[in-house]
Structure 1
């Protein structure tokens, strides 16, 4: 499901920012985008995402900013004081000397050192913040899911309308087909074999009998609505039901001997495809 979440915090002189982006996908695919200093969190980030999410292509990005930067310069002030005292003593013995450049003092061994920031204390707070961001993402997806459910309900109602339309037209279609066949036979044979004609009609009627397909379409609609009412992780189950609905619509189209039935089958396939696309957004 398409969603976005952002959470930030300030801890131990560091600002941490998580940004999560989710788009629809048949399975769960997590892509962590972590700074090198937090690379060890790759596994825990994936595991935490699996606890919250079941489907979707999710990008998980972390940014940070240290108040003093990643590398800090430390001056040994005690050593600088000792060097300054030594210079004073030398000046007393040999007389005043040219002022010493501070940059020359910094180049002396031990005066200036660099220390890299310690990121270890930030790992646990970063994961805790990610947990909050994932909870926000789930809430966003839940709100979108409520709107999506209404869309699916509307399409399911449309499916039942087409089923009822086809079922109501069946007696008329069958009668028109029977009359058309009788007329054709009478044109060919002056004295048609009535028994043989009835047998052919029965076989043809069986071939175009779509009552079973209509019953299964209604049953699948009921099952989809039951899954939506139960909630939870039903995305893959709905995927399967869409496949079954599409199979029955295809069978209905293949058996069609009437334009109205064909139109109903086409409308069914359109409705089912619309639902199938949206169901990719459902957990």
Structure 2
């Protein structure tokens, strides 16, 4: 599988009777999978199956799902739901009698939810049939979202590969520069000692000087950091090749990249090596920023 982005948008439309409905789904970055569904009144029952469908296509991301009922054509006429009106009327009369209130007025009852049905000239279809139509259309929208996230993911994978190439290049350059550190340390130490002892008798033995240089060189040795950086690059490339739900592991690797780059900078005794370390940190930051978009 290819890398999946967490960013995408899709829509799918359907027709029920002479009314149209549209599902719109959009997703952005998220630590886990968070679904928010906005459904019209009376269709709340669809939320659970909608979540089940979404979870088959997505692993991470903040996802907003909206169902819009466009309505019927202009030729459709409103219809009265006598059963709902009768229920409201009975309740209103009981309340009026018990509390000494005015009898219910027709215009007030007609304004209550569900009394007037708009946009339907044909009898309602079976509820299970309606739900099947809604869910089939929603699945089309989810397929579109998955395709959009996949296309964005392919672009993202190319960017991440470029950042890994840059990190690998800087790691190789840092290794080469670090190899010159022992000689540079020895040269600086000899110059410092010569300056300190120029007005004094005596000199530091070659053996003592070699010991001091060795101690400083061990402290400045960055071979372990270089080896770990290379290992992290190789692992990141494997994850990009796998592609399926690797965002969390890539984020962890980005943190490890940053840790090694910081250590390399702290060990550096050379201006050029420090500069390479800072460039490496910049490349890692760019990698980590893009990794936040990976599912």
Describe the superposition over 1:60-96 as per-residue Cα deviations: whole angstroms up to 9, x where unpaired: 1111134288962379xxxxxxxxxxxxxxxxxxxxx
Q: Deviations over 1:126-146 (max 9, x none)?
A: 111111111111111111111
Output aligned runs, 1:127-166, within 5 Å.
127-166=135-174
1:103 alignment partner in structure 2: none
* Other structure's SS at 1:58 match: strand
Distance in 2 separating the partners of 1:142 and 1:115: 44
Q: CA deviation at 1:115?
A: 6.1
| Bigger Rg, structure 1 or 2 | 1
Q: Give the equivalent residue in structure 1 for 2:229.
A: 217
Structure 2 distance, partners of 1:56, 1:161, is: 32
What is aligned with 1:6? 11
Is contact 1:186-1:192 (8 Å) kept? no
**Does structure 2 retain, via aligned residues, the 8 Å contact 1:28–1:57?**
yes
Gap change, CA 1:240 and 1:74, over 3 Å in 2: closer
For structure 2, which runs of at least 5 residues remain unmatched after alignment?
Answer: 1-5, 83-105, 108-113
Residue 60 (structure 1) aligned to one of 56, 65, 76: 65
* Partner of residue 72, structure 1: 79
Tell me, what secondary structure is at the counterpart of 1:37? Answer: coil
Total equivalences in the alignment: 248
* TM-score, scaled relative to structure 1: 0.80
The CA deviation at 1:194 is: 3.3
Q: 1:27-74: CA deviations, max 9, x gaps?
A: 222111111221122222222212111111111111113428896237
**CA contact under 8 A between 1:178 and 1:201: conserved in structure 2?**
yes
8 Å CA contact retained: 2:182, 2:213: no
Given the alignment of the two structures, is residue 238 of structure 1 paired with residue 250 of structure 2, yes or no?
yes
Change (3 A) 1:177 1:41: same
Alignment of 1:1-283 (within 5 A): 1-67=6-72, 72-73=79-80, 114=115, 116=117, 120=127, 121-189=129-197, 190-283=202-295
Question: CA RMSD, aligned part only?
Answer: 2.5
- Could you list the runs of 5+ residues in structure 1 that have no partner in the other structure? 76-105, 108-112
TM-score between the two structures when normalised by the length of structure 2:
0.77
Does 1 or 2 have the higher relative contact order (CA < 8 Å, sep 6+)? 2
8 Å Cα contact 1:16-1:64 kept in structure 2: yes
